[in-house]
Amino acid sequence: MSRVAVVTGGMGGLGEAICMKLSKMGYQVVATYSPGNTKHAAWVAEMKLQGHDFRAVSVDVADYESSKKAVAQITKDIGPVDVLVNNAGITRDTTFRKMEKEGWDAVMKTNLDSVFNMTKPVIDGMAERGWGRVINVSSVNGQKGAFGQTNYSAAKAGMHGFTKAAALEYARKGVTVNTISPGYIGTKMVMAIPKEVLDSKIIPQIPIGRLGKPEEVAGLVAYLCSEEAAFVTGANIAINGGQHMQ
């Protein structure tokens, strides 16, 4: 029986590319979507036409009870979760001087609390079965900071602190926990930035001279899910075209 992979925020941008890649690897893929998203059925149908038999589950990843309920549903309907990709995230960008507590809380809950909320219900089961992969999708801005993103940068940096501690605790249980930190990737959100801004402000910061491709990030996730990556845990792997190097 094929393993089960859950990708939070799996219906757009990086999430969709990750879902497609894991599907091609033979995983049973579950994409989560936010409550109130009325497009999930159409997305599943469109993906099926492309040869991907995805499942879609509604969950508010910022809420622990909602996350537990979603994991219980997935486990009952499909099977226990073997791979978890914590990809869901939002932005509420503004300078710190103008930032309201509401904007801080929203980003921290969706981008950081969600990592606890979704990982907690699955990781002990992974350990009991002796195999599991948790991959936390952070950001280059969690490594270097970004003007107008104190909330986002703090949440994304916090994800890797979680990664390192959890990796230590579960290393002998066959479960790896890793972070990836993408730079500017050519998702629909990034491509919505005016071309003149991309060409004059963003791409000049990237030594490779272009945006990354969602498929390239998905390929990195696929590697971390593989048997060949069993010795990689607690890592934060940058995939940013050389924009920021550590």
- Assign residue 211 the CATH number of its domain: 3.40.50.720
DSSP for the chain reads ---EEEETTTTSHHHHHHHHHHHHTT-EEEEEE-TT-TTHHHHHHHHHHTT---EEEE--TT-HHHHHHHHHHHHHHT----EEEE---------TTT--HHHHHHHHIIIIIHHHHHHHHHHHHHHHHT-EEEEEE--HHHHH--TT-HHHHHHHHHHHHHHHHHHHHHGGGTEEEEEEEE-SB--HHHHTS-HHHIIIIIGGG-TTSS-B-HHHHHHHHHHHHSGGGTT--S-EEEESTTSS--
Q: Mean pLDDT score of the chain, rounded to an integer?
A: 95
Residue 232 lies in a domain: yes
Residue 231 lies in a domain: yes
Share of the chain above pLDDT 70, in %: 100
- Residue 83 has a pLDDT of 98
Residue 246 lies in a domain: no
How far out from the chain centre does Cα 48 lie?
22
pLDDT at 144 over 80: yes
Q: Which two tokens stand for residue 162?
A: 């979680």
pLDDT at 99 over 70: yes
Q: What is the pLDDT of residues 44-68, one digit of tens each?
A: 999 999 999 999 999 999 999 999 9
- Residue 191 has a pLDDT of 85
Domain enclosing residue 17, as ranges: 4-239
- Within 10 Å of residue 214's Cβ, how many Cβ atoms? 23
- Residue 104 has a pLDDT of 97
Q: What is the pLDDT of residues 106-128, one digit of tens each?
A: 999 999 999 999 999 999 999 99
How far out from the chain centre does Cα 126 lie?
18
Q: What is the pLDDT of residues 201-214, one digit of tens each?
A: 999 999 999 999 99
Residue 245 lies in a domain: no
- Within 10 Å of residue 53's Cβ, how many Cβ atoms? 10
pLDDT at 12 over 90: no
Q: What is the pTM of this model?
A: 0.96
pLDDT at 1 over 70: no
* Residue 152 known to be catalytic: yes
Residue 206 lies in a domain: yes
The one catalytic residue among 27, 152, 170, 184? 152
Region 14-42 average pLDDT: 95
* CA quadruple 46, 48, 54, 56: dihedral sign: positive
Residue 90 lies in a domain: yes
Q: What is the pLDDT of residues 158-185, one digit of tens each?
A: 999 999 999 999 999 999 999 999 999 9
Number of domains the chain is built from: 1
- Exposure string for 7-44, b = 16+ CB within 10 A, e = fewer: bbbbbbbbbbbbbbbbbeeebbbbbbbbeeeeebeebb
Q: Which two tokens stand for residue 207?
A: 């030594």
